Amino acid sequence: MLTRAGNRSAIESPSADPHPRVTFHYVRLPPALRFLKEAGGPHYLLWQVAALVHARRLLRAANVDIVHHVTYGSLQGGSLLWALGRPFFFGPAGGGQMAPPQARRYFGTAWRQERLRSALTGLLTLSPLHHVLACRATRMYATNAQTARLMTRLGAKRVQLMLDSGVPDDLIASAVPARTDGALKILWVGRLLRRKALRLALESVAELTVPVHLTVVGDGPDREEVPGWIEELGLQGRVSVLGRVSWAQVMALYREQDVFLFTSMRDSFGSQLLEAASQGLPIVCLDHQGAGDFLPEGAALKVPLRGADTLATDVAAALTRFATLTDAQRRAMGEAALTFARHHRWAEKADRYLRDYGERVGA
């Protein structure tokens, strides 16, 4: 397994659980090029060149049947490992999803940059490197339908939908937790970025007429604006902003809250959706991208994107609908969420990959 040198301490820490059949090889750029790390894309492209060189050396000494490029989880990042001349698998990756036009007002001044990203994503079909990647891939895995369509346009012959997120067996709750009565408890978890659209969540809660309390978990560039949004919308006393908390605290909140609200305007899927589902927490989300493609109807109320002016009202309507459900109906949603999480255990994903590898090696 090739990975960046910065992962070494975590992989080899005393608390790590090494597997005797997995060997890690750490790839890093020469010292003169490491300053590019902050540049993101250029650094990753050069790292991929270094990884390809390293992999070619390994193949001279090792018998390798399959090559699988797993991360970055973005089609834009691409891969050069198809050049190794082995059956090549790529993904799961997102990157083909774009923020819808209805999202513009929630991006503010960041909308120009978002539209530039969308334009560059559309131009991937003109990239020779991405065409070669898709055409040489034995199989590509996409985390949402938009990315799957882009992979197909690039020339991929076999594209399958698969989440890049998973859960370990011991994380999944054995049953839907008992939840207390009272005001509707809504949980929002995510980075405080414009594309995550916390503002939409706040506007939706402001429209509710039922007793409600929203708990916000996360940190990010928009954190300084959140208190002003809460005051502007008259939500004092109905919103708690916890900032960054420990993972254990987040998992406890998934068990304590009534419903998870996911308002992201652009996401491959969202690992917090799977975390919430693993604790039997029903979900309200926008019906697009990975959330729309993967979440089952029984576990989530999915809100169609009708128009920019109706988004908050439509999300509020979905939350109101959830608030009117009986305890039995909410529990049924929680059970459906648990079933969804069980289908996305890491062990299930490993079995899926092994079946796909076996099909190719045995062909």
Domain boundaries defined on the chain: 2-167+345-361, 170-343
Which carries the bigger pLDDT value, residue 160 or residue 39?
160
Structure confidence at residue 145 (pLDDT): 98
Q: What CA–CA distances, in Å, run from 148 to 55, 91, 356?
A: 27, 11, 17
Tell me if residue 327 falls in helix, strand or coil.
helix
Mean pLDDT of the chain: 94
Q: Which amino acid is at 361?
A: V
Residue 187: pLDDT over 70: yes
Q: Higher-confidence residue: 42 or 222? A: 222
pLDDT at 33: 75
pLDDT at 139: 98
- pLDDT interval class at 253 (50, 70, 90): very high
CATH of the domain spanning 2-167+345-361, picked from 3.40.1350, 3.30.160, 2.40.128, 3.40.50: 3.40.50
C-alpha distances out from residue 202 to 101, 190, 222, 234, 299, Å: 20, 14, 14, 10, 22
Using pLDDT thresholds of 50, 70 and 90, give the confidence band for residue 298: very high
Q: What is the pLDDT of residue 43?
A: 80
Residue-wise pLDDT for 276-290, tens only, equals: 999 999 999 999 999
Domains 2-167+345-361 and 170-343 share a fold: yes
Whether the Cβ atoms of residue 62 and residue 79 lie closer than 8 Å to each other:
no
Which CATH code is given to the segment(s) 170-343? Answer: 3.40.50.2000
pLDDT of 19 > 80? The answer is no
pLDDT band at 5 (very low <50, low <70, confident <90, very high): confident
Over residues 335-344, mean pLDDT: 98
pLDDT at residue 32, rounded to an integer: 78
Quick one: pLDDT at residue 288?
97
Secondary structure (H, E, C), 116-161: HHHHHHHHHHHCHHHHHHHHHCCEEEECCHHHHHHHHHCCCCCEEE
Amino acid at 5: A
Q: Quick one: pLDDT at residue 286?
A: 98
Phi, psi (rounded to 5 degrees) for 269: -155, -75
Banded model confidence at residue 44, pLDDT cuts 50, 70, 90: confident
pLDDT of residue 78: 93
pLDDT-derived band of residue 362, with 50, 70 and 90 as boundaries? Answer: low
Q: Is the pLDDT reported for residue 239 higher than 70?
A: yes
- Tell me which of 33-42, 139-148, 221-230, 339-348 is least confident: 33-42
Which pLDDT band holds residue 240 (cuts at 50, 70, 90)?
Answer: very high
State what percent of residues in the chain have pLDDT above 70.
98
Task: Note the pTM of the prediction, 2 decimals.
Answer: 0.92
pLDDT (average), residues 114-140: 96
Band of the pLDDT at 170, cuts 50, 70, 90?
A: very high
Q: Edge-to-edge, what's the strand order for the sheet holding 139-142?
A: 67-69, 88-93, 139-142, 159-161
Q: Picking from 63-72, 135-144, 193-202, which range would have the lowest pLDDT averaged per residue?
A: 63-72
Question: Which of 6-20, 245-259, 292-306 shows the lowest per-residue confidence on average (mean pLDDT)?
Answer: 6-20
Would you say residue 168 has pLDDT above 90? yes
289: DSSP letter: H
Instruction: Reply yes or no on whether the pLDDT at 17 is more than 80.
Output: no
Question: Residue 265: CA atoms inside 13 Å, Cβ hemisphere, count?
Answer: 28
Instruction: Tell me the mean pLDDT in the region 298-325.
Output: 96
